[in-house]
Amino acid sequence: MSTHLSRPSYAAVLRVPLARRAFTAALIARLSYGTVALAVLLSVTRATGSYAVSGIVMSLFGATTVLLMPVRAALIDRHGPRRALLPMSALYGTLLCALAALTWHPGAPAPLLALSAGLAGACAPPLGPTMRALWSELVTDRELLQRAYSLDGVAEELLFVSGPVLIGALMGVAPPAAGILLSAFLNTAGTCAFVTSPALPGSRPRPASGGPRPAAVRGLLPPVAAALGVGLALSGVELLVMAFATERSYDTALVPWVLGALSAGSALGGLVNGAVRWRTTARARLGRCAAGLGLVLAPAGLAPGLWTLTGVMALAGAFIAPALTTAYLLADETAPEGSRTQAGAWVNMAVNAGSSGGAIAAGSLIGRLPLPACFALAGGTVLCAAAAVAVKAPSLRAVVRPRVRGGWSRSSPRAQAQEAQGRPR
C-alpha cells in the first residue's frame, strides 16, 4: 500500500488504503492514556484522603506502564498485534475496572490499590509504538511516512491535552472513579476496533529472530538518547515555569497558558516538520532539533517577564514534536526486521522515563540554585543529548539496510498481493 505523490500531504496520509480506520481506532484507544492518570490520581486521593498514598499508587502505575513497555512491544513483534494486543487490553481494562470499584467509595486499603494500579500498568497495550509500526507497513514512501509520523505525533499530543479536560467535565456529573471506567472503556473498545482493522497483517507469528544484533542496539542509541534528553528537559521546565511565576509574583493561574504555548508551538512545529521535504538524514535532523531545543531553553530563565517567557516556550515547543517524530523515524530505520514495535517502544519509554526523572531533578534544584541556572541545566541536558546523537557509532551502516516490508506476518493482504506481483515486500 504505497503512496507515491510528488507533494505528499496530510490528506494523502489519510487516503492511504485502510489507514484511516486503523488510525481512528488507535486514537480512541490511546485517548485512554490521556484520561487515566488524572482519573486515578483524583480517585485514589478521594478514596484514601492521602496524597502520599496517591503518589505511591501513581508511581507504581507509571513505572510499570513505562518500564515494561519494551517487553510488551516485544510480544507484539513476536506474536503479531492481533494475538497480543487483545489479551493486554482485556487485562488492562479489567484491572482498571477493579481499581474503579475499589475507589468508588472511601476506605479502600492502600496496598490493594497499589497492587491493582501496578498490575494495570504492566498490562497497558503499547498502542503508540504499534500504530507507528503499522504506518511503516502501510507507507513505503519515506516522505509520506515522515508526514504520517508527524500527524501521529501531533494527534497524540492533542489527546494528552484533551484527556484531562474530558475528565474534568465528567467530574461534574460523576465520581472520579467513573473516569477510570471511561479510560478502561476507551482502551478496550479502541483496541478491539484496531485489531479488527483489515490494515493489520494476519495473526500468524513471525519466527523468532534470535534477539537484536549488537549493531541494531547501537543504532537505537541516538533516538533513545535524544528522547530521554527531551523528556528530562520538558518535565523540568513545567516546574520551572511555575517557580518563575511564583518568584516574580505573577498569578499562577497564568502558568497553564505558558505551558499551553509550549504545546501549541510543538503542534505547529510537528505539522511544519512533516510538510517540509528534508534533504538531510534523520539522524542529522534529530541532532539539530535537540540542539535547537536546548539553545532556546538554556537562556529562558533570563526572560524579563512571564509574557516574554511565554514566547520563548512557544519557540522551544517548535522543536519538540519534530525531535520526537524524527527519533521515531530513526528508530524505525535502524530497527531489525520484526522489531519495529519494540524499537518505537524504547523511544517512548525514554521520553516517559525522562519526564519522571526531570520532574524529580527540577524539584530538588529549585530553591537551591537560581532559576536561570536551573533553566540552563534543563537546556544543557538536551544539548548533551544532541551531542550524543552526533557521535558516530561504528558499523551503524550495517543496520540501515534496504527495508524488507511486511513486519509482523507474511499473511498480510498487502504482502500476498506484492508477492503475487513479484515485488519485494
Instruction: For residue 260, give Cα distances in angstroms to 213, 229, 316, 396, 424.
Output: 41, 21, 12, 38, 45
* Pair (72, 173) in one structural domain: yes
* Pair (42, 70) in one structural domain: yes
- Rounded to an integer, the average pLDDT of 362-370 is 85
The answer to whether residue 289 sits within a structural domain is yes
* Pair (246, 127) in one structural domain: no
Instruction: For residue 39, give Cα distances in angstroms to 103, 167, 171, 408.
Output: 11, 7, 9, 34
Query: Residue 213 — very low, low, confident or very high, per pLDDT cuts 50/70/90?
Result: low
The answer to whether residue 420 sits within a structural domain is no
Residues 103-137: pLDDT tens digits? 998 888 999 999 999 999 999 999 999 998 898 88
Query: Cell numbers at residue 308, please?
Result: 516574554
- Rounded to an integer, the average pLDDT of 51-66 is 86
Number of domains composing the chain: 2
The answer to whether residue 416 sits within a structural domain is no
* Pair (33, 131) in one structural domain: yes
pTM of the model: 0.78
Please check the confidence at residue 358 and state whether its pLDDT lies above 70: yes
Range of the domain at 250: 214-398
* Pair (101, 135) in one structural domain: yes
pLDDT of residue 408: 52
* Pair (218, 161) in one structural domain: no
Please check the confidence at residue 425 and state whether its pLDDT lies above 60: no
- Rounded to an integer, the average pLDDT of 234-242 is 85
The answer to whether residue 422 sits within a structural domain is no
369: phi then psi, degrees, rounded to nearest 5: -125, 155
Please name which of 120, 119, 112, 123 lies closest in space to residue 44, comparing C-alpha atoms.
112
Given 165, 195, 225, the domain boundary residue is 195
Q: Using an 8 Å Cβ cutoff, are 184 and 96 in contact?
A: yes
Q: Using an 8 Å Cβ cutoff, are 147 and 275 in contact?
A: yes
* Pair (233, 304) in one structural domain: yes
- Rounded to an integer, the average pLDDT of 361-386 is 90
Given 168, 195, 222, the domain boundary residue is 195
Please check the confidence at residue 413 and state whether its pLDDT lies above 80: no
Beta bridge partners of 119: none
Average pLDDT of the chain?
83
The answer to whether residue 415 sits within a structural domain is no
pLDDT of residue 387: 92
* Pair (143, 279) in one structural domain: no
pLDDT of residue 202: 58
pLDDT of residue 236: 84
* Pair (374, 289) in one structural domain: yes
Query: Residue 217 — very low, low, confident or very high, per pLDDT cuts 50/70/90?
Result: low
Rounded CA separation 197/47 (Å): 39
The DSSP line for 323-359 is HHHHHHHHHHHHSPTT-HHHHHHHHHHHHHHHHHHHH
* Pair (275, 353) in one structural domain: yes
The answer to whether residue 403 sits within a structural domain is no
Query: Residue 418 — very low, low, confident or very high, per pLDDT cuts 50/70/90?
Result: very low
Please check the confidence at residue 414 and state whether its pLDDT lies above 70: no
The answer to whether residue 108 sits within a structural domain is yes
Please check the confidence at residue 405 and state whether its pLDDT lies above 60: no
The answer to whether residue 164 sits within a structural domain is yes
* Pair (187, 229) in one structural domain: no
Lowest average pLDDT, out of 195-199, 205-209, 411-415, goes to 411-415
Residues 3-35: pLDDT tens digits? 444 556 788 888 888 889 999 999 999 999 989
* Pair (360, 322) in one structural domain: yes
Please name which of 332, 399, 417, 284 lies closest in space to residue 135, comparing C-alpha atoms.
332
The DSSP line for 294-310 is HHHHTTGGG-SSHHHHH
CA dihedral 363, 369, 374, 377 (to 10 degrees): -110
Q: Using an 8 Å Cβ cutoff, are 163 and 33 in contact?
A: yes
Using CA of residue 294, residue 256, residue 236, residue 330, what is the dihedral sign?
Answer: negative
pLDDT of residue 167: 87
pLDDT of residue 2: 41
Given 135, 167, 195, the domain boundary residue is 195
Q: What is the CATH number of the domain that holds 55?
A: 1.20.1250.20
pLDDT of residue 393: 53
Residues 81-111: pLDDT tens digits? 989 999 999 999 999 999 999 999 888 899 9
